[in-house]
Amino acid sequence: MLKPLALSLAVAASFSFISANASAEDFKILNQLENKPTLLKSGEYKCHYYVPSTLNTITWGYLPNKDAKPVLTIPAGSTITFDTVSHEGLLEDQGRDAEKYFTSQGVKAEHILPEAKLITGSKLKHDFHKDGPHIITGPVYVEGAMPGDILKVEILKVEPRVPYGVISNRHGKGTLPEFPKRQKHDHASPANPEAYGNVSVFTPIEKNADGVWEGVLKTESGKSIRFPLNPFMGTMGVAPNTSKAVHSVPPSFYGGNIDINDLTAGATAYYPVQVPGALFYTGDSHFVQGDGEVALTALEGSARATFKISVLKAGRDKIPGKSLTQPLGENDEFWITPGLDEDLDEAMRKSTREAIRFLVDEYGISEEIAYAYLSAATDFEVSQVVDKTKGIHAMIRKADFKEFKKDAK
């Protein structure tokens, strides 16, 4: 029984090696632009503020709180680019050695981000069992942002920095308790990562016949499963008004690990500011994620994210839904109202209540009509069920309200 298993693993590894190198040949690695936060004065991102992921600009497993020291200060209305680093491939159950892990999957050393190698080779503390997995970049202080304001984050671009990612399933963290089926052992450590019993599937991205990049899962038969990419940042948000440590896994009223796959390039996210300067941060980049994110992670890999960040003042600027006490999203087609709770049923109720409130305040209709409309014409999507706090969001179609006169933004 062991020989066929060993053979299948060897075949899978060889396909990973071929795919990783073939895809990298056509891919421009997005290396760090500068070694510290700054205003870029030349190149493609000229006049963008810029934040790299260095040991001085990241936290591992926790979000910024009100006491976090900003890594950069920017004027409201600025465009800013973050070079983020995915935690996948860097964690303890993957050996906490980015170079060793990725080269074992066939990635050339020059196609591994130096920041990833620096992080895993550093003495930066990270407890696999206690801390969150995410590498968070920031925070950034936005001039003029004060509690009571709304931070408007226009997502201009999310670009994969490398031609590969990882999809992981870990014990007790996915939707199905019987997965992964590998046994875990007490002696698990970065030096013995197999003992964790977790499953991480290395997944290259490759161009298809039309020149479009796709995720590629190689199966034991050698045939591939191919699926389109839809890059977005799983974590964006503002610092909550607390001095307590803020774990990176559960999302909340300040945003964080909200994992809504509709918040891609072209979308806008709104966050109620909790502390002076807002202290905006991002991380946990996804190349693509299905609604639910059932195994635990999506196809996760390092990305470059560019935003325009503005401040909306209550009483001066038009705020969607007039006021916000939690995140709101929008794109060209939809308003997006999240509901967050440890219980999925309650998350559904919260999303519905927020959708009703939003429709009443934005369009001046009654609660009864709003509730009826949502039941007849609005889809509620499960963002994720694996982040302790689960998420459901309403997708309210803007075109249905074309007869309503709205104030210009």
What pLDDT is stored for residue 295 in this prediction?
A: 98
Q: What is the 3-state secondary structure (H, E, C) of 267-310?
A: CEEEEECCCCCCCEEEEEEEEECCCECCCECCEECCEEEEEEEE
**pLDDT tens profile 60-108:** 999 999 999 999 999 999 999 999 999 999 999 999 999 999 999 999 9
Residue 22 has pLDDT above 70, yes or no: no
Categorize the per-residue pLDDT at 26 as very low, low, confident or very high, splitting at 50, 70 and 90. confident
Residue 380 has pLDDT above 90, yes or no: yes
CA 247 – CA 389 distance, rounded (Å): 12
**pLDDT tens profile 35-55:** 999 999 999 999 999 999 999
Residue 186 has pLDDT above 80, yes or no: yes
* Helix, strand, or coil (residue 71): coil
Handedness of CA 403, 406, 408, 409 (dihedral sign): negative
Residue 346 has pLDDT above 80, yes or no: yes
Q: Which domains does the chain have, with CATH numbers?
A: 38-162+230-312 (2.60.120.580), 333-399 (3.10.28.20)
The b/e string for 389-408 (b: 16+ C-beta within 10 A; e otherwise) is: bbbbbbbbeeeebeeeeeee
Around 63, how many Cα atoms within 13 Å sit in the side-chain half-sphere? Answer: 30
Give Cα 4 to chain centroid, integer Å. Answer: 37
Residue 320 has pLDDT above 80, yes or no: yes
What pLDDT is stored for residue 15 in this prediction?
A: 42
CA 341 – CA 251 distance, rounded (Å): 9
Residue 6 has pLDDT above 60, yes or no: no
What pLDDT is stored for residue 25 in this prediction?
A: 72
Mean pLDDT of 204-221: 95
What pLDDT is stored for residue 23 in this prediction?
A: 54
Residue 4 has pLDDT above 90, yes or no: no
**pLDDT tens profile 224-261:** 999 999 999 999 999 999 999 999 999 999 999 999 99
pTM for this one? 0.93
**pLDDT tens profile 299-316:** 999 999 999 999 999 889
What pLDDT is stored for residue 53 in this prediction?
A: 98
**pLDDT tens profile 388-406:** 999 999 999 999 999 997 5
Q: How far is CA 344 from CA 25, 191, 226, 309, 379, in A?
A: 43, 37, 30, 31, 16
